[in-house]
Amino acid sequence: MKLRDTFNKKDFVVTVEIPPPRGTNVRDALAIAEKIGDRIDAINVTDNQRGIMRMSSLAFSHLLKESGHEPIMQITCRDRNRLALQSDVLGAAALSIENLCVMTGDHPSLGDHPDAKAVFDLDSVQLIDIISRLQRGESMIGKRLNGSPEFFLGGVLNPFAAPFELQLMKLRKKIEAGTEFFQTQPFFDIESLKEFLDRVKDINTKILIGVTPLRSAKMIHFLNEKVLTRPIPDNIISKLESADDPVREGIELASEFVHRTKDMMVDGIHIMPIGSEAHLPLLLDLAGL
C-alpha cells in the first residue's frame, strides 16, 4: 500500500530506517528488509547519515522498490547543489519512488570525510518548495518540465530544539511549502513525548515519533555528546549499565515505549535502529507490531 494511503487508513503507522550498505553488497540490507517488510509500512533510506559515506539513497531506494517494499528516500542539502538536487528528485520519480524525506543534513565535519566540502546550496524548506514546484511542472527557474513527478513529501522535526518556538516556525514553513508528514528525533521517555504532543496539538499534519533501541551506556554517551540536543535521562543510563544483556535491555525499553505510544494521540512511530538493524524482528515482536 502507498504510504499516503496508509496514513489515511491506519491509526498507527510504522516506518523503519535501514541505511544503504557501505559498499556494493546489498544482500544483508535487503535481507533485513525482507524479514520485516510485511510488518511495517515503509522503509526510510538514509542519505549519508551523519556525514558517513554509503551507497546513494536513490540507488538503494530503487532496489527496495524493485523488491516489493515501500521506500522513503531521504535527500539532504549537504552534498548537492540545486542542479543536482532537482536532477535526483526527477530521477527518483522516473524510478517509481513515491516518498521523499527532505532534510538539511549533518555537516560533513561530523562524519568519516571531515575534510569534504559542504554544499548547503539550499536548506530543507527551500528544497521542499522546489520539489513542490517540480510537481507543478516547472523547474526552480520556471522552465516547463516534460513530465512532472508526484511525491508524498516528508520532513524531519527536532522536538528538543531550543527555543522550540523557532522549531515550530520552521515546521509551519515546511507545511506551507508542501510537507505532508514528519519524523522526529528519538524520544526516550513518555514525559518528554507528552510535553511535545501538547505543543503541536493545534498543528494539522502527520507526525511519526522517533524510537531508537539503545545498545550500551557507551552508545548513550556518544548520542548525548554528538547527536542529540537533549540528553537521554540518567535512569535509562543506569538500566543499561546494570543490565546483564544491555542490547536486550535496550530493545525491551524501546518496545515498552512503543506500547505506551499506542495509547496516545500519535500517528505512529519511526524506528531508527542505529546499528541494531539485525534486532528489528525482536523489537517488532516485543512491541506487538
**Residue tagged 548525548 (cell numbers):** 224
- Confidence check: pLDDT of 236 > 90: no
In the chain, the domains with their CATH numbers are 3-287 (3.20.20.220)
Average pLDDT over residues 31-52: 95
Confidence of residue 221 (pLDDT cuts 50, 70, 90): confident
Supply the pLDDT for residue 46. Answer: 97
Span 2-24, pLDDT tens digits:
999 999 999 999 999 999 999 99
Q: Reply yes or no: is the peptide bond before residue 149 cis, omega within 30 of 0.
A: no
Tell me the β-bridge partners of 207.
182
Q: 149 with 93: CB under 8 angstroms?
A: yes
The strand pairing partners of 155, in sequence order, are 102, 182
Q: Does residue 89 have a pLDDT over 90?
A: yes
Q: What is the pLDDT of residues 98-109, one digit of tens each?
A: 999 999 998 888
147-161, 224-238, 250-264: range with lowest mean pLDDT: 224-238
pLDDT in tens, 119-129: 999 999 999 99
